[in-house]
Amino acid sequence: MPTSEFTLIYRYFSALGRGDAVDLSVGDDCAILRLGEGERLATSVDTLVAGVHFLEDTFPEDIGFRAVSVAASDLAAMGAQPLWLTLAITLPEADERWLSRFTSGLDAALEAYKISLVGGDTTSGQLRVLSAQVQGSVPVGEALRRDGAQVGDLIYVSGTLGDSRAGLELLQNPQSHAQQADYLLQRFLRPSPRIDLGMALRGIATAAIDISDGLLADLGHLLRRSGVAGQIELESLPRSTALHSFCDAAQAMRWAATGGEDFELCFTCPESRKSDIEAISAQLGLRLSAIGRVSVGSELEVKSQGQSWLNPHSAGFEHFGAQQ
C-alpha cells in the first residue's frame, strides 16, 4: 500500500494503545510491555476470514468487536487477566469508512475487556483476514489448563448454549423470524467472553475450555487431554427462551450440543466446590449449570431419555431429533 494508507491506518490504531502495563506501544519495531513478578504470560491467536468466519456484508463494527472477543475468550478459558492485543489485518483496500467503523467496534471491545492494542501489521491482499493475538497474565500455577479434569468431578457450562448458532441462522436467512431475534443476533455477532468467570475459577476449576467448536467437540478435547471419560445429560444443557422461541425442541438441543461459537466456558471441578460455584454464579449474575460428571475411561457419553451415544462426533448423534 502507499505510505499515505499506512499513515491512515496508524492514525486509527495508535489511539488504542493506552494502558498501565504498556511501556511502548504502536509505532516502534515492537511493543514493550510489563508483567509483574510471579505472573505468567498467557497468549493466544485467532483468525477471522471473510466468507468463512464472517459474512462479507457483516457490519465492520461487529467484525472488530468479534475479533477481540473471540481471542479474549481463550484468555477467559485459562483464567487469565487480559492485557494486550496485536492485530494482523489483510485488506483488499484501505477504505477509510470501513476502517473507521471497524476501529469503533474494536475499541468498544478493548474498553469492555480493558485490553490495550499494542501493535499490528496491515497488508494488502484480495481477501479480508484478521488475526487477533491477545496476551494476558495469570499467577504461577493457577492457569486453567485443559488437562486437569479428575474422575468424579462435576462438568459445568456457563450461560446458555445454541444461541449463537441460531443467530447465525438468522443472518444467513434474513426471511426467518424470531421473537427475540436481536438477542440471538447479538449472541453471534457480539459474544461475551467469560473473563470474570475464568479469573473467579482460579484454584477451583480443575480444567476449562471455551466453547468455540460446540460443547460436545470442546468437552471431548478437554476429556481427551485429561485422559478421562465423561457423561452428560442432554436435558441439563442450558437453553434460552429466545432459542426455544426460534426453533423446535430437538433443533434447540442439537444446537446447544454442537452449535459452536457460544464462547461460554465448560469446566470441571470437585463436587466439594459446588457451593463455591453457586457463590460465583450469584456474584457474577451468570447461570452456571452442572451438566454431567467425569469418569474413568476415554469416551464422552451423551444421554437423553433412555438413549445414549458414545463419542457423539460420529454420525449417530447428527440425526438426533430426527429419531425422536
Using the 8-state DSSP alphabet, how is residue 297 labeled?
S
Alpha-carbon torsion, ordered 103, 105, 108, 113, to 10 deg = -100
Q: Provide, rounded to whole angstroms, the least separation between the CB of residue 88 and a second copy.
A: 4
Q: Answer for the pair 180, 242: CB distance below 8 angstroms, yes or no.
A: yes
DSSP secondary structure letter of residue 271: G
| Secondary structure element (H or E) that encloses residue 12, with its range | helix 3-14
Question: Of 121 and 235, which CB lies nearer to a second copy in the complex structure?
Answer: 121
Applying CB under 8 A, the span of 51-59, 103-111, 161-169, 252-260 interacting with a second copy comes to: 51-59
Size, binding site for a second copy by CB under 8 A = 63
298 lies in the site for a second copy, by CB under 8 A: no
**By CB under 8 A, is residue 202 in contact with a second copy?**
no
Strand partners, 48: 130
Coil/strand/helix, residue 116: strand
Q: Is position 158 an interface residue for a second copy (rule: CB under 8 A)?
A: no
4-26: string of b/e by CB count within 10 Å (b at 16+)? ebeebbeebbeebbebeebeebb
Examine residue 7 and tell whether it contacts a second copy (CB under 8 A): no
- The single residue among 74, 107, 169, 264 that binds a second copy, judged by CB under 8 A, is 74
Measured distance CA(130)–CA(12) in Å, rounded: 16
Tell whether residue 310 is a contact of a second copy (CB under 8 A): no
Q: Which residue from 169, 210, 261, 262 is in contact with a second copy, where contact means CB under 8 A?
A: 210
Q: Is the separation of the CB atoms in 40 and 134 below 8 Å? A: no
Residue with cell 436467512: 173
> Coil, helix or strand for 256?
helix
Exactly one of 27, 59, 177, 271 binds a second copy (CB under 8 A); that residue is: 27
Kindly state whether residue 156 participates in binding a second copy, applying the rule CB under 8 A: no
Question: Which residues does 6 contact at the CB level (< 8 Å), separation at least 6?
Answer: 122
**80 binds a second copy, rule: CB under 8 A:** yes
Which of 183, 187, 176 is CA-nearest to residue 262? 187
Contact 156, 273 (CB under 8 A): no
Residue with cell 464472517: 54
Rule CB under 8 A: is residue 129 a binding residue for a second copy? yes
Q: Phi and psi (nearest 5°) for 82? A: -65, 140
Q: At its nearest, how many Å lie between a second copy and the CB of residue 275? A: 26
CB of 42 to a second copy, least distance (A): 4
Is there binding between residue 296 and a second copy (CB under 8 A)? no
Classify 245 as helix, strand or coil: helix
214 binds a second copy (CB under 8 A): no
- Residue 264 contacts a second copy per CB under 8 A: no
Binding track, positions 29-48, relative to a second copy; x by CB under 8 A: xxxxxxx-x--xxxxxxxxx
3 binds a second copy (CB under 8 A): yes
Q: Are 288 and 158 in contact (CB under 8 A)?
A: yes
Q: Return the number of the residue (98 or 236) whose C-beta is nearest a second copy.
A: 98
For the CB of residue 102, give the shortest distance to a second copy in the complex, in Å: 16
119 binds a second copy (CB under 8 A): yes
Q: Which residues bind a second copy (CB under 8 A)?
A: 3, 23-24, 27-35, 37, 40-53, 74-75, 77-78, 80, 84, 86-90, 118-121, 123-127, 129, 131, 133, 135-136, 138, 143, 145-147, 208-210, 217, 225, 313
